[in-house]
Every structure is written in C-alpha cells, then in structure tokens.
C-alpha cells in the first residue's frame, strides 16, 4: 500500500504550524575528557523537516540522545515547546518527542499491532488497578488504543499485516513499523535516526513519501541520514556536524555547495582535527554510555514508571 501524501489532517500532538517545538542551546556532551558534542544550537519548527548530517563519528546520534533524555548534556539545555525537558527518556516521550533508532528496536515476537500498542502507553490514562480489575474505563481505553493503532498501521501501509509477527516483516516494513510505533505516542516532534539505512531505492522513495506525509500532519521531523540525495530532497533545512560541532546550517542548496562540507565528506583535514585515535576513543565512550543509558531507560519504562511524573 502506498502512503497517501495528500492528507492534511493535523496529528493529535501537533502544535500550530510554524511554532518552534525544539530549541537546543549550547548542547555539549563529554565522556570523561572526551568531547563528543560541543556547543550545538538547533531549532526545529512544527511542520518542518530538518536534516542532521556529518561524517561518521561526528556526534549526530549522541546529539539525538541528548535531545531524548538518554543522555544528560554536560552543558546547555533542551527545550520542547519552551519547557526544559526532563532528564528521563520516558518523560521526554510523554512530553511529546518520539524517536526511532539506527538499529531497529522492535519486539520481534510480538505482532505488528502489538508493537504499535506498546507505543500508546504514554497516552493511556488508565492506571495499574484499572488494568488489574479491567473495568469499563479500561475496556474503553483499550478499544480506543487499538483503533488508533490500526489508523497508524493504515497510514504507514501495514494494516493488512497487523497480525503478523514483527520478525517476519521485510526490512523496509520493519522500518515503517518502528515509525508507526513512534507516532503512537502522538508526538509533536519525531526524531529519525538513519531511517533509510539498508533500504533499496524503492524502499527509500517510500520512506521519503511517508516522512512528507508526517510533515503534512504538522509534526516536526528531525532526521539523521547518510544518503545525501535523500536528505537534500527531503529537508527544509540541513545542519552539518563535524567533530561534534555545527559547521553550517541552511537550506539544502546552500549546504551542499559549501566547500567546508565537501571537504568534510571527502576526508580533507579540518582545523583542530582530533585524528583517528581520538575519534575512536569518542566512539567507544559513546557506545559504553549508550549501553548504560539504554539499561536505565528500560528500568524507567517498567510498569508504573510512566505514572511517576
């Protein structure tokens, strides 16, 4: 099923068009003596697609992790709709920011529908005892969640596979499912970490259409991607990170014509280049920190935690 990109219905969590939803100021992330992200500013407005690009090890995913509560920035602050975000990933999701990951993180042994229902938990108002007693309120909420989940599966073109196990979906459809699950939390801002990684050209085009359709619902989108053609076709603005610092930000034509960007991608050394050894140290520190943060996030997302707000 092809996504209908003509829809203009506003998503439930989307703010008014043109509203600044993300305002990151002076974000710096250090791991010991290593600096992975240094003094990065970035804004994203509702109904806008912003790209974040840079060579491997530039700090893009680390910056994403600072935006979503997986990391607490060493310096700087992140605001969503003019409120400083809490330093917990499940609270960031509840506030209105959702994300996908570079490595797909689906529940492989759950159905497609069940995966999307998991994403609804931050919008479910029924508490622990309601779930245990399964009263009328619980059944109404459950029916509403299932209906919304099916709407989202139809939106991404997976409604016919609602009862399939997630592990049996082709790779491109697993990516779509992860996006549907993220949308289930009704975000005003969606962060996509390499959404077309591993896709063939047809799947990449379908992903582009889907992201345009999400934008058309008023949802702000911030996307990391290595496919430059995809990014420059997709985005209203593009920011470039090199060695953890923002090199340039502007419209696609300005960015792709900048000599510094070209130099960064063909491997010419930049000023204060830390060298391969230090870059490898930063990547190792990031990996260790992300592993620890993921374990903390799993603990925070345990039953009952979403009501601890």
Residue 259: CB atoms within 10 A of its CB come to 8
- Burial bucket for residue 211 (CB in 10 Å: 0-12, 13-18, 19+): buried
Q: What is the per-residue pLDDT for 234?
A: 96
d(CA 298, CA 252): 37
Per-residue pLDDT of 277-292, as tens digits, reads 555 566 666 666 666 6
Contact 42, 22 (CB under 8 A): yes
Q: What is the per-residue pLDDT for 265?
A: 79
The string of DSSP letters for 54-87 reads -STTSSHHHHHHHHTTSS--SEEEEEETTEEPPS
Q: What is the per-residue pLDDT for 35?
A: 93
Per-residue pLDDT of 193-233, as tens digits, reads 999 988 899 999 999 999 999 999 999 999 999 888 999 99
Give the mean model confidence (pLDDT) for residues 91-118: 91
20-108+187-307 is classed in which CATH architecture? Answer: 3-Layer(aba) Sandwich (3.40)
The string of DSSP letters for 186-234 reads --SEEEEESTTTT--HHHHHHHHHHHHHHHHTT-EEEEE-S-HHHHHHH
Q: What is the per-residue pLDDT for 277?
A: 52
Q: What is the per-residue pLDDT for 198?
A: 86
**Domains of the chain: which residue ranges?**
20-108+187-307
| Residue 302 predicted with pLDDT over 90 | no
> Quick one: what percent of the chain has pLDDT higher than 90?
58
Structure tokens at 270: 């930049």
Q: What is the per-residue pLDDT for 216?
A: 94
Q: What is the per-residue pLDDT for 11?
A: 62
| Residue 95 predicted with pLDDT over 70 | yes
* Band of pLDDT at residue 63, cut at 50, 70 and 90: very high
Q: What is the per-residue pLDDT for 38?
A: 96
Q: What is the per-residue pLDDT for 5?
A: 41
- pTM here? 0.79
Residue 262: CB atoms within 10 A of its CB come to 11
């Amino acid at each position: 099923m092809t996504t209908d990109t003509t829809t203009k219905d506003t998503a439930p969590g989307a703010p008014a068009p043109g509203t600044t939803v993300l305002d990151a100021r002076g974000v710096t992330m250090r791991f010991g003596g290593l600096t992975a992200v240094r003094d990065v500013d970035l804004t994203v407005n509702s109904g806008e697609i912003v790209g974040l690009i840079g060579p491997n090890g530039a700090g893009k995913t680390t910056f994403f992790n600072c935006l979503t509560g997986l990391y607490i920035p060493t310096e700087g602050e992140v605001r969503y709709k003019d409120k400083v975000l809490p330093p917990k990933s499940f609270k960031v999701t509840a506030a209105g920011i959702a994300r996908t990951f570079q490595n797909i993180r689906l529940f492989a042994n759950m159905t497609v529908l069940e995966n999307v229902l998991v994403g609804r938990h931050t919008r479910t108002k029924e508490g622990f005892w309601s779930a245990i007693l399964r009263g009328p309120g619980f059944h109404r909420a459950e029916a509403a969640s299932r209906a919304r989940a099916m709407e989202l599966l139809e939106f991404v073109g997976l409604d016919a596979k609602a009862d399939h196990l997630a592990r049996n979906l082709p790779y491109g459809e697993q990516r779509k499912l992860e996006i549907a699950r993220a949308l289930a939390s009704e975000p005003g801002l969606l962060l996509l970490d390499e959404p077309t990684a591993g896709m063939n050209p047809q799947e990449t085009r379908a992903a582009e259409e889907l992201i345009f359709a999400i934008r058309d619902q008023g949802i702000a989108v911030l996307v990391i991607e290595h496919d430059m053609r995809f990014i420059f076709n997709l985005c209203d603005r593009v920011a470039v990170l090199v060695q953890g610092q923002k090199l340039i930000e502007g419209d696609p034509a300005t960015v792709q014509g900048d000599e510094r960007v070209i130099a960064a991608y063909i491997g010419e050394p930049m000023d204060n280049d830390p060298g391969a050894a230090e870059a490898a140290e930063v990547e190792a520190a990031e990996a260790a920190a992300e592993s620890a943060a993921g374990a903390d996030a799993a603990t925070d997302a345990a039953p009952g935690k979403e009501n601890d707000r």
